[in-house]
Chains A and B, each alone.
Chain A
Amino acid sequence: DGGITQSPKYLFRKEGQNVTLSCEQNLNHDAMYWYRQDPGQGLRLIYYSQIVNDFQKGDIAEGYSVSREKKESFPLTVTSAQKNPTAFYLCASTGGAGGRIANQPQHFGDGTRLSIL
């Protein structure tokens, strides 16, 4: 079955440490997204990528970095510059026939919960 796999499910970060969250999809989707979810708030966009080797900052990109070397993979690194990283992180993707992805709904992974030790 096609889908989006996020790993690990739970992750702990020490002070001053960078950690990387994995997101892999086998849906053949071009566009991928990273969101942060905090209690009582909606999802906020961190980064997005429309194609391989291209990505753009979202609304809350500070303290995060991404790469898109393969179509299937869009890892998110939470750097030590992100002072409040404790949150639930969701990866999503979008695809459509003939490249018409702009009006298609996003499909989500199961998420990664990041906490500070």
Chain B
Amino acid sequence: AQTVTQSQPEMSVQEAETVTLSCTYDTSENNYYLFWYKQPPSRQMILVIRQEAYKQQNATENRFSVNFQKAAKSFSLKISDSQLGDTAMYFCAFMKPLSGGYQKVTFGTGTKLQVIP
């Protein structure tokens, strides 16, 4: 079974600064995907960024980028130029595609990020 660990329950960052959220996972699989989801106070889960395990290049989406270390099973999220709207819970997720089109997703326990003005 896969496990996803987010060791930072809460973090804070000054507006316009950079912050890194950590995530480690445990798996024996080779074919998988990793995601970061954002859950603002409105509670809707929003996809932030996605990484395919077979790709060595780290994914980037505007101010969001990841540091994917496959051998170390680490998948951290870097938020540059933090904005007040980045205040949210951030969940790391591991996804394994299965036969028949099904996917098994394992979520971490989340990191609560507060952006301070």
Contacts and interface: CB of A to CB of B under 8 A. Distances in A.
B44 A111 contact: yes
A103 B97 contact: yes
A74 interface: no
A92 to B, nearest CB: 8
Interface string B78-110: 000000000000010001011011110111111
Nearest to A94: B103
Nearest to B91: A42
Interface in B55-96: 91, 95
Interface in A11-39: 30-31
A88 B43 contact: yes
A22 B42 CA distance: 18
Interface in A93-117: 94, 99-111, 113
B110 A42 contact: yes
A27 to B, nearest CB: 13
A102 B101 contact: yes
A110 B110 contact: no
Interface stretch (A43-51, A63-71, A77-85): A43-51
Interface of A: 30-31, 40-43, 45, 48, 50, 56, 88, 90, 92, 94, 99-111, 113
Interface of B: 4, 9, 33, 35, 37, 42-47, 50, 52, 91, 95, 97-98, 100-103, 105-110
